[in-house]
Structure 1
Amino acid sequence: MSTRPYVIDQMISAKAIAARIEELSEEIKQAFPPDQRIVVVGLLRGSFVFIADLVRELRDRDVEVDFLEASSYGDGMNSSREVRILKDLRGAIEGRNVLVVEDIVDTGHTLNHVMHLLESRNPAKIRTIALLDKPNRREVDFRADWIGFEIPDEFVVGYGIDYAQRNRNLPFIGKVRFTD
């Protein structure tokens, strides 16, 4: 698999991400009853770093983690708008409190599709959080309950987000700038 040559310009530092996750975790704690378990549903693969840091901030809560993998990108840079579920949840969510964690909301198709699927399973309460939001790219009327950062229409990598399976391990969010 080849990719075009590129460089990465830092947009959001690791320190800024950590501070924002701490703030968001406090808001999440206020939204869910303190004596009830929260099922954190991570949308793979891009959100895995965000999920790990977020659940650590929810350390004083009873948290269960499950994963769902949906795809609308493949190895490309643009959404195909066709959402496919590649891996479903292992556990049931009926009657449970659910927090869906997404890395980035772009066109909105993936999260909208996933929310319809999960809502059909009758959770007690379901909320969404996205690390990044690109509202200028939205094609579906969907907004996550919590947003880490609103960003312009740039192709980004890092902190779990990839370009053709590369750069997920960067501790920051960076803008991809092609050099060819």
Structure 2
Amino acid sequence: MPDFTCVLDKDKIKKQISRTAEIISTDYRGRELVLVGVLKGAFLFLADLARELTLERVKIDFLQASSYGADTVSSENIVLKKDIDIDIRGKDVIVVEDIVDTGLTLSYLIAHLKTFGPSSIKVCAMIDKKERRKAAIHVDYVCCSVEKGFLVGYGLDYAEDFRNLPQIYHMKL
């Protein structure tokens, strides 16, 4: 059985999401915004973030990519499993991620989304973890920065387990 150490509790998660939503709402006031959540990990974060936004026009879509499988390190072999359905041509897009780790998946997804001709693409992440960063990725909106460790909970998984945990934990196997 894995050992869990709490990294971010429910209150800190909620507070950081509210703060981030306020900044995004200010930055995009009067504009239509498309949030593109990266499945499966970002779905909880995206739902909470979207509810905190004070913008009048927000569209939500999802895409799904995989690079981890059942391991704790990226295979660096990125596979697009689900593409967006909304036309983002000429739209402002924020890619919503649970965690930016190596940056390879996010870099791949941003390049993919640019082919649809959005007017802008920014990134919002629940967690920015630079320990294993391999791609030069800028995260525009960060709720929390974490130095290191393999994290689970609040959408983050290990082999599809532990997404349902209400807080974020460092997991030791």
Question: What TM bracket, shorter-length normalisation?
Answer: over 0.9
How far is the alpha carbon of 1:37 from its aligned partner? 1.7
User: Residue 6 of structure 1 aligns to which amino acid in structure 2?
Assistant: P
The answer to whether residue 58 in structure 2 is matched with residue 63 in structure 1 is yes
Q: TM-score, normalised by structure 1?
A: 0.92
Q: TM-score, normalised by structure 2?
A: 0.96
Pairing 1:100-115 to 2, within 5 Å after superposition: 100-115=95-110
- For residues 145 and 98 of structure 2, the distance between their equivalents in structure 1, rounded to whole angstroms, comes to 12
- For residues 155 and 11 of structure 1, the distance between their equivalents in structure 2, rounded to whole angstroms, comes to 11
- For residues 140 and 127 of structure 1, the distance between their equivalents in structure 2, rounded to whole angstroms, comes to 16
For structure 2, which runs of at least 5 residues remain unmatched after alignment?
none
Question: Cα RMSD between the aligned structures?
Answer: 1.1
For structure 1, which runs of at least 5 residues remain unmatched after alignment?
none
- For residues 133 and 35 of structure 1, the distance between their equivalents in structure 2, rounded to whole angstroms, comes to 28
For each residue in 1:53-103, what CA deviation from the matched residue of structure 2 results, as whole angstroms up to 9, or x when unmatched?
000001443111100001111121110111110000011100111111001
The answer to whether residue 3 in structure 2 is matched with residue 7 in structure 1 is yes
Contact persistence 2:30–2:55 (CA under 8 A): no
SS at match of 1:78: coil
The answer to whether residue 140 in structure 2 is matched with residue 163 in structure 1 is no
How far is the alpha carbon of 1:7 from its aligned partner? 2.0
- For residues 7 and 129 of structure 1, the distance between their equivalents in structure 2, rounded to whole angstroms, comes to 29
* Runs of 4+ with >6 A deviation: none
- For residues 111 and 30 of structure 1, the distance between their equivalents in structure 2, rounded to whole angstroms, comes to 24
- For residues 36 and 60 of structure 1, the distance between their equivalents in structure 2, rounded to whole angstroms, comes to 8
What is the number of residues matched between the two proteins? 173
- For residues 121 and 6 of structure 1, the distance between their equivalents in structure 2, rounded to whole angstroms, comes to 42
Report percent identity of matched pairs.
38
- For residues 151 and 165 of structure 2, the distance between their equivalents in structure 1, rounded to whole angstroms, comes to 11
Pairing 1:76-91 to 2, within 5 Å after superposition: 76-91=71-86
Q: Please, which of 149, 154, 161 is the counterpart of residue 154 of structure 1? A: 149
The answer to whether residue 40 in structure 2 is matched with residue 26 in structure 1 is no
